[in-house]
Structure 1
Amino acid sequence: MTKTPLPSARLLRPRLVDRIVSDPTGSVFLRAPAGAGKSVLMQQAAERVGAAVCALHAPRPSDVQDGWLFWDVPSSARTARLSAQVADTVAHLVIAHRPSQKITGLARRVLHGGAQTIDARALSFSAEEIDTRLPAPVIRRLIEQYAGWPAFLPLADTADHELAAAYVGETFLSQLSPAPTTRLSLWLEAPAPDPEDDWCDALPPFLLAAPDTQAELIAALRSATAARLEGFSKSAAVTEVATALEAAHHPLAAMQLLLDHGHEAHAAQILAHSRGLELIYESNLDEFSRIILRFSQETVATNETVLFAITRTLMKQGEFQRVRQLVAKHLGSDYLDPLKVLSRGTRFSFAARRFRLNMMISEDMTPSDAMLQRLGEFMADYPVGDDQKWAAFYNALLEFEIRRRNFREAEAAAARALIYFRKIGGHPLLEFFIHLHLTVLHLTNGDARMARPAARTARERLHSVTHPVEQEFRMLRLVEAALAYEEGQPQKLVAFLQQDFDAFARAEIWPSLFHFAIQYSSQAVMDHYPASIRPRFLDGLWLHLAERMDLLQTIQIRTATAYQNEGRIGDAETALQNLRATQATPAEAMTPDWLCALQERDQITLATARLRCAVQHPAPGPQIDRQVAALESNPKATLRESVALKIWRAHLAHKRRDTAAARSHLHSALISASRLGCFGVLSEQRIFLAPLLREARIRQHLETSPDIRATLAIYAGSISTPKAKARAGGLTEREAQLLQLIASGNPNKRIAQTLNIAEPTVKFHLSRLYAKLGAKKRGEAIQSAHALGWL
């Protein structure tokens, strides 16, 4: 059975009627938007004094009754005027009108006699006013869901969402033009109390004061606003809606609307107004990509702003090869040469040169002195006062100086970039990148203690970003996992490999971060996965990096390191010999003077890897001590590399039975690691460190230092991998290798090829392994090893 709605006209308002009829000023304004009950209240007041209500655009003298004029200004009137003739004959004037309507002809009357205004807040029902005249549920619903608005009294008894939305659309929104309707729709996405806009006068004040408590009225407004905007979008008003969206700082929504309706040129203008390239840092990447990639090829060919927005999007998605193809197609093949683009007198625009600098950040090249000089010349063309562009310039310089191993200069560039960001009031996402860069810088250098506060600040800035930034959080998880690894807790790094690495590698990663990722992730693979998995992991890296050929050397070096850690020196040397840089510099050319003078990151990394093979070799050569010492004295060697080189020198001294020298070098290495908080390097060098620590005379000497004891405790915890447990449980290095290989399903022949030993030797080692595990066959051995935590 359908309930009969409660008619609002039956609810008398004696208090307000008393205010009107007893007003001493002679002029009462009922000023409120539609639905506030102005007409009903005026009718009640008129009945009280025995007068009629005038609803004309201009009252006549005959409408004045016994000195009273009740004038209900028609909603269609934008302005209304009370004639002087009528004004002079009225003793008591009551006018009901909307806030948007202008009433003239009353200035003299109000100036000399004053006026009383009963506004929308006073006209809204309160629980005290209604008292017990309605059922309690109806009162509560009217106050809590419909803002106490008189027009909604019928709905407070019987809810009807469609009717409420229709009423809102016809009554509240019909007077709003496209721009304020658009701004209202944006407010409705996340209503905040007490907004300030020209559409506010059209809505109930209690709704604006507490929108989170008026769910049904908000829902009706959303439906009505969406319907009205849809109507605008089917007319010429679509450009006005887009302009309002742009003015309200929603350029992507504006562009999407314009592209939906074929206004591509206008959409490109909004992209330019929104600083084109920088807009991607203030938007959700998926949303930005979806809209930007809709521009036609004709617009891309003629509009640099659109071209660079699209190519920047592709870079964020890791599509660097497509970026190179696009810019070469539209700007010419010489655009791929940064020296030509950045030089003075170039044919390229300032925007094109800026984007070329942006591309250089993603290219794995180490800028030469000549390139940095060109960058300095380009810097002179930067506009004074555009602080965000200057911050971006120093961000690029930061990346280049990290590649050049100029860590102090890199820190200075970071500080300068942050100064410019502060000048523009901050930019959380771009500041995050600066602090993440600093974290990578310090960890690459080997200073974990300096990296920790930079990582904390990076997390704080990223949490301040208001749009989704999952890709950036993935970068942050990597560096935080690396920090945990340095503290002797490798589990986070292993989890990152399992859960995040594939998605991380497919996105835009600048080269210093990618080198960093390869270093740490490959070390985690070496430490925690069977030998058979490692080549597949490094092959997978190569697939991700097919467009960035300069990273091949880094991957080959990590492959060689994995072989070295398995005692496969021959395979390690072969992996390194296949590199062009190795072939260009034979072993005999690696003199101490040459090693001391190396400048470039890749040269030093490769020389370090080759020396590591030589140090591990049974007969390392007569120059090896001088070579290691020379590389350690190289000013471009990182602090991390210095710790490793000290351990190698201790290893070489131990092989010569020079215990005093071994103790001295190892003591220096451990103290350095302790001061830097860089304990991961000890785990990485355990093939050299473990034999030294097993020597009682060396160990006893070291443990007299509390700092070294604490360092060794962290080191012991970091190597508690399944393989380390197997070694501690009595397996030899070879038996531990065999256990991992049979657990991966390798037959004896494949194991023999992997370890470069004869097949009968494999069988001999397996028989010893089975005996230690109390097993008779492979399945039993694997089961026992799992139970012991050795796999």
Structure 2
Amino acid sequence: MRTADLPFLAEHSADLVLLIDALPGTGRAEILTAMRRKLGGPDGGCQCSILSTEDPPVVISGTPAVICAEADQVANLSALRDMGHVQEIGNRDLFLGPGQDPHFAKTGGWPALSDHLAQAPLDDSALTEKARTLLRRTPRALRDIVARLCRAEGGFDDAELPAEQRKLLHWLDPLSECRGGTWRIRTPGLAAVLRAATDAWSAAALAAPPAPGAAKAARIAALLHAGDRAGALDLLHREGGQYFMHLHGMEAGRRVADAFGEDPAPAVMALQFMIAVKSGDIERAAYILSGYENGVLLDLGRRMPRAGDVPVPLAFCRIELAVFRGEARGYHITDEASDLLARTDPRAHLMRGGIYNLLLDHHIRGERFAAAEEAATRALAHYEAADAPYLSFFIHLHRSIIKVRSGEPAAAAPHLQAAEKALAKTPFEIPQDARFLALMRAVTAYETGDALPMVDFAETAFEGFAYGEIWPSIAALALAHGAEALLQERGLQAATHYIDSWRVPAWRTRNFQVMVAQRRVATLQSARRWREARQQLESMASRIGFLWMESSGANLADLRAPEDISQALLWLRQQVFETPRNPALNERLAAMMDSTHVSTRQRLCLRIWKSWVDRRQNRPGQARRGLADLLQLCASRNSFAPVLEERAFVLPLLEDSRVMQREMIEAPLPRNLRRGAVMAFGTGPLSRQEWRALLLLGEGCSNKDIAREMAVSLPTVKFHLKNLFKKLGVSDRREAVEEARNRGMLSE
């Protein structure tokens, strides 16, 4: 759905709270981003958030504010209504009408289903899975009534419905409509889709099961009510302490935390910290830790003084905060974790497993996969000893991440299967974790060369995914793979919108903001908007800049921080395109490939750039052998994503007659290599200089800009443009850009 098609966006006043209470797949995240830009700009000024069904009620204070949540989750909604300070948007405002949706008979105007059919009109099974994915993200009560209504041949008689069910159907409107006193699904075609989507769910699965931790939470609350704090703390310790939520569910954990209130007991503070992290509210988690000795735990830039005096649960929370924020140096995290392990009872399986779990994510982010695998093995052993399948789920999930980032996506499958089994054994449901599993399956498919599952995830699951707990390593994959998949299949505008959406969540940290900025640059480069990419690189506050790269040489091998390595790789990619004949590039590429801190996947990209430089420096034999070896390696691992991401360099090499000889003739190529791709740079009727001028025209450059970028005189620019216009059969720059796009030479 295009936000421009929604009249309430243009009419909305900045002094009103905008409450969006609607189904998944109605464009909530897109609206959130659009309103943030309108009301507060891309970097702040507007309160924006999406609450999951597990999140506690919030109080909205101040405007402008945009919130996606159930009405019951806004604690002061009645007051806002009384004062006329809220504009409420529901399903009827966001569903499409018959004249807006060409597939209305089948989709009932549900925007996500309509968008899906526009891309794959003949794939009914994929449409069913799309509907199933959307329904899984709704509360069980809604799923239950939708599943029953789509199977009720005569519909539901409104007069006979219990009040609670009637309320749900009114909320679902227009997915469910009351006509002549009878409730039915909006269209028969949509009812058929929903029947297929819910066929796999048994009646037991659709009904809300009793919360397994409810009785224990009630017992703790009763002890506190009776004034027996010591008894309540003892029971909390016996039921997992700070891990109570991970053993008994989010709802039970919140009930216990609320019952204790502002209790200073370390186990209670740690439980409240863990609930805040699980909700994606890292700032709330930090605030909870600030209550210990005037905030001494929040100084993450140095080792903890008198660490042995800090209670173990709170010392653990400090390390977790450092991992999620990414603000502490690596040796602080690993040293403090080692000290904490030495202080922790060997039989305290939940705590020891949690410490290894933190180290696991920390090692993955640092590309230390052997250390990560060792931490995973130890964490899993402790979690299994504690009979904690929910926590084991995360270890299996992180093991799949290790395989993907090691360039072995096929090896991730057994770990994803194990994660699914662990989640099935968990006696409560948290939708965010099912999204983690769906993400990793999409990532695995993307790495093998199939971008469509990742596109589907980015377009349908993101709005509920990015606003809860996200481990940093998982967030990095979702950002990078989602943007690249959308760029390949939907174009630059869709990819840029997706990247901008990551600026909205409240949990974002400085490190993640840098990651978002770096992803934007990489996306611009992949879209061949090289000038704009360089301008953004130059504007970034990083020690790795143009001058540093010019004098780097072998020093590139000494980079350790993931942020610095990513920045250096972006600069190197830029230089490989702009100045491929620069002899210094050979040393820089070799240094990066020799680095032990560069991942296997990054090294594959470096090898592609090396082949491009070899060809541009008139070493076609080396270019041919290097590219052929890389393609064989990718085929042996079934990992073609780097080749697809670097096709701006790969495709011109495949068009080069001096490269396409001998070993390259039978080299395996990914089947989607040319799908959606623009014409290879440097091929076709244009010379290389004419191609460069065309790309700069596409970025809106003037003749002076082009001269500066190409390091040539204005007369030379005019000469190249004259030849360019002649070869394209046009008379001016506007027509040249339009014709180039029509021919597939420029992206939209």
Q: Which has the larger radius of gyration?
A: 1
Which residue number in structure 1 is paired with residue 566 of structure 2?
Answer: 605
Which residue number in structure 2 is paired with residue 329 of structure 1?
Answer: 291
1:489 correspondence with 2:489: no
Which residue number in structure 1 is paired with residue 255 of structure 2?
Answer: 291
Q: What is the CA–CA distance in structure 1 between the aligned matches of 2:513 and 2:404, rounded to whole Å?
A: 22
What CA deviation, in whole Å up to 9, does each residue of 1:55-103 have, x standing for no partner?
xxxxxxxxxxxxxxxxxxxxxxxxxxxxxxxxxxxxxxxxxxxxxxxxx
The correspondence for 1:676, drawn from 632, 637, 643, is: 637
Q: What is the CA–CA distance in structure 2 between the aligned matches of 1:599 and 1:442, rounded to whole Å?
A: 21
Which residue number in structure 1 is paired with residue 44 of structure 2?
Answer: none
Q: What is the CA–CA distance in structure 1 between the aligned matches of 2:545 and 2:736, rounded to whole Å?
A: 49
What CA deviation, in whole Å up to 9, does each residue of 1:672-723 have, x standing for no partner?
2123322101000000000011123423424554xx32xx0x2x32542375
Matched letter for residue 698 of structure 1? V
Which residue number in structure 2 is paired with residue 561 of structure 1?
Answer: 522
Q: Which moved more, 1:374-383 or 1:532-541?
A: 532-541
Which residue number in structure 2 is paired with residue 466 of structure 1?
Answer: 427
Q: CA deviation at 1:423?
A: 3.0
Matched letter for residue 508 of structure 1? E
Q: What is the CA–CA distance in structure 2 between the aligned matches of 1:576 and 1:780, rounded to whole Å?
A: 30
What does 1:624-639 correspond to in 2, within 5 Å? 624-639=585-600
Q: CA deviation at 1:294?
A: 3.0
Asked whether the 8 Å contact 2:643–2:650 carries over to 1, the reply is yes
Which residue number in structure 2 is paired with residue 572 of structure 1?
Answer: 533
Q: Which moved more, 1:579-588 or 1:261-270?
A: 261-270
Asked whether the 8 Å contact 2:458–2:498 carries over to 1, the reply is no
Which residue number in structure 1 is paired with residue 497 of structure 2?
Answer: 536
The correspondence for 1:274, drawn from 230, 233, 239, is: 239
Q: What is the CA–CA distance in structure 2 between the aligned matches of 1:545 and 1:622, rounded to whole Å?
A: 45
Q: CA deviation at 1:609?
A: 0.9
Asked whether the 8 Å contact 2:360–2:373 carries over to 1, the reply is yes
Q: What is the CA–CA distance in structure 2 between the aligned matches of 1:648 and 1:356, rounded to whole Å?
A: 41
Q: CA deviation at 1:785?
A: 10
Which residue number in structure 1 is paired with residue 337 of structure 2?
Answer: 375
Asked whether the 8 Å contact 1:481–1:496 carries over to 2, the reply is yes
The correspondence for 1:250, drawn from 207, 210, 215, is: 215
Asked whether the 8 Å contact 1:770–1:781 carries over to 2, the reply is no
Asked whether the 8 Å contact 1:341–1:348 carries over to 2, the reply is no
Q: What is the CA–CA distance in structure 2 between the aligned matches of 1:670 and 1:246, rounded to whole Å?
A: 51
What CA deviation, in whole Å up to 9, does each residue of 1:324-354 have, x standing for no partner?
1222135422111257785555442122112
What CA deviation, in whole Å up to 9, does each residue of 1:553-595 have, x standing for no partner?
2222211112212333222122122223246772355533211
Residue 343 to residue 585, structure 1, CA distance change in 2 (3 Å) = farther
The correspondence for 1:410, drawn from 369, 372, 381, is: 372
What CA deviation, in whole Å up to 9, does each residue of 1:503-559 have, x standing for no partner?
211111121222222211121232233333443332221222664111222222211
Unaligned runs of 5+ residues in structure 2 are 1-209, 708-717
Asked whether the 8 Å contact 1:276–1:306 carries over to 2, the reply is yes
Q: What is the CA–CA distance in structure 1 between the aligned matches of 2:397 and 2:507, rounded to whole Å?
A: 25
Q: What is the CA–CA distance in structure 2 between the aligned matches of 1:688 and 1:725, rounded to whole Å?
A: 8
1:437 correspondence with 2:398: yes
Q: Which moved more, 1:498-507 or 1:574-583?
A: 574-583
Residue 294 to residue 388, structure 1, CA distance change in 2 (3 Å) = closer
Q: What is the CA–CA distance in structure 2 between the aligned matches of 1:681 and 1:669, rounded to whole Å?
A: 10
Q: CA deviation at 1:636?
A: 1.5
Which residue number in structure 1 is paired with residue 202 of structure 2?
Answer: none
Q: CA deviation at 1:756?
A: 7.1
Matched letter for residue 369 of structure 1? Y
1:500 correspondence with 2:461: yes
The correspondence for 2:265, drawn from 281, 298, 303, is: 303
Please state whether the residue corresponding to 2:262 is helix, strand or coil.
helix
Aligned positions, number: 526
Residue 330 to residue 428, structure 1, CA distance change in 2 (3 Å) = same
Asked whether the 8 Å contact 1:264–1:295 carries over to 2, the reply is no
Asked whether the 8 Å contact 1:446–1:678 carries over to 2, the reply is yes
Q: Which moved more, 1:632-641 or 1:716-725?
A: 716-725
What does 1:670-709 correspond to in 2, within 5 Å? 670-705=631-666, 708-709=667-668
User: Taking structure 1 as the reference length, what is the TM-score of the superposition?
Assistant: 0.58
Residue 729 to residue 529, structure 1, CA distance change in 2 (3 Å) = farther
Asked whether the 8 Å contact 1:640–1:678 carries over to 2, the reply is no
Which residue number in structure 2 is paired with residue 510 of structure 1?
Answer: 471
Residue 547 to residue 697, structure 1, CA distance change in 2 (3 Å) = closer
Asked whether the 8 Å contact 2:211–2:252 carries over to 1, the reply is no
Asked whether the 8 Å contact 1:647–1:689 carries over to 2, the reply is yes
Q: What is the CA–CA distance in structure 1 between the aligned matches of 2:235 and 2:674, rounded to whole Å?
A: 56
Which residue number in structure 1 is paired with residue 311 of structure 2?
Answer: 349
Asked whether the 8 Å contact 1:394–1:414 carries over to 2, the reply is yes
What CA deviation, in whole Å up to 9, does each residue of 1:212-254 have, x standing for no partner?
xxxxxxxxxxxxxxxxxxxxxxxxxxxxxxxxx9999831343
Which residue number in structure 2 is paired with residue 126 of structure 1?
Answer: none
Asked whether the 8 Å contact 1:390–1:420 carries over to 2, the reply is yes
Q: What is the CA–CA distance in structure 2 between the aligned matches of 1:693 and 1:749, rounded to whole Å?
A: 24
Which residue number in structure 2 is paired with residue 319 of structure 1?
Answer: 281
Which residue number in structure 2 is paired with residue 453 of structure 1?
Answer: 414
Residue 676 to residue 252, structure 1, CA distance change in 2 (3 Å) = same
Q: What is the CA–CA distance in structure 2 between the aligned matches of 1:357 and 1:463, rounded to whole Å?
A: 29
Residue 550 to residue 733, structure 1, CA distance change in 2 (3 Å) = farther
Matched letter for residue 401 of structure 1? H
Which residue number in structure 2 is paired with residue 421 of structure 1?
Answer: 383
Q: CA deviation at 1:659?
A: 1.1
Q: Which moved more, 1:343-352 or 1:307-316?
A: 343-352
Which residue number in structure 2 is paired with residue 109 of structure 1?
Answer: none
Which residue number in structure 2 is paired with residue 132 of structure 1?
Answer: none
Q: What is the CA–CA distance in structure 2 between the aligned matches of 1:321 and 1:549, rounded to whole Å?
A: 13
Which residue number in structure 1 is paired with residue 601 of structure 2?
Answer: 640
Matched letter for residue 559 of structure 1? R
Q: CA deviation at 1:263?
A: 6.3
Please state whether the residue corresponding to 1:581 is helix, strand or coil.
coil
What CA deviation, in whole Å up to 9, does each residue of 1:170-212 have, x standing for no partner?
xxxxxxxxxxxxxxxxxxxxxxxxxxxxxxxxxxxxxxxxxxx
Matched letter for residue 239 of structure 2? S
When the two chains are superposed, the root-mean-square deviation of aligned CA atoms in Å is: 4.5
Asked whether the 8 Å contact 2:220–2:235 carries over to 1, the reply is yes
Matched letter for residue 295 of structure 2? S
What CA deviation, in whole Å up to 9, does each residue of 1:138-178 have, x standing for no partner?
xxxxxxxxxxxxxxxxxxxxxxxxxxxxxxxxxxxxxxxxx
Which residue number in structure 2 is paired with residue 478 of structure 1?
Answer: 439
Asked whether the 8 Å contact 2:651–2:680 carries over to 1, the reply is no
User: Taking structure 2 as the reference length, what is the TM-score of the superposition?
Assistant: 0.61
Q: CA deviation at 1:613?
A: 0.4
What does 1:60-139 correspond to in 2, within 5 Å? none
Residue 350 to residue 566, structure 1, CA distance change in 2 (3 Å) = closer
Please state whether the residue corresponding to 1:699 is helix, strand or coil.
coil
Please state whether the residue corresponding to 1:717 is helix, strand or coil.
coil
The correspondence for 1:387, drawn from 325, 335, 349, is: 349
Q: What is the CA–CA distance in structure 1 between the aligned matches of 2:510 and 2:681, rounded to whole Å?
A: 38
Residue 616 to residue 269, structure 1, CA distance change in 2 (3 Å) = same
Asked whether the 8 Å contact 2:559–2:565 carries over to 1, the reply is yes
Q: What is the CA–CA distance in structure 2 between the aligned matches of 1:593 and 1:440, rounded to whole Å?
A: 30
Q: What is the CA–CA distance in structure 1 between the aligned matches of 2:695 and 2:226, rounded to whole Å?
A: 62
Please state whether the residue corresponding to 2:503 is helix, strand or coil.
helix
Asked whether the 8 Å contact 1:490–1:718 carries over to 2, the reply is no
Q: CA deviation at 1:638?
A: 1.1
Residue 335 to residue 762, structure 1, CA distance change in 2 (3 Å) = farther
Q: What is the CA–CA distance in structure 1 between the aligned matches of 2:338 and 2:324, rounded to whole Å?
A: 19
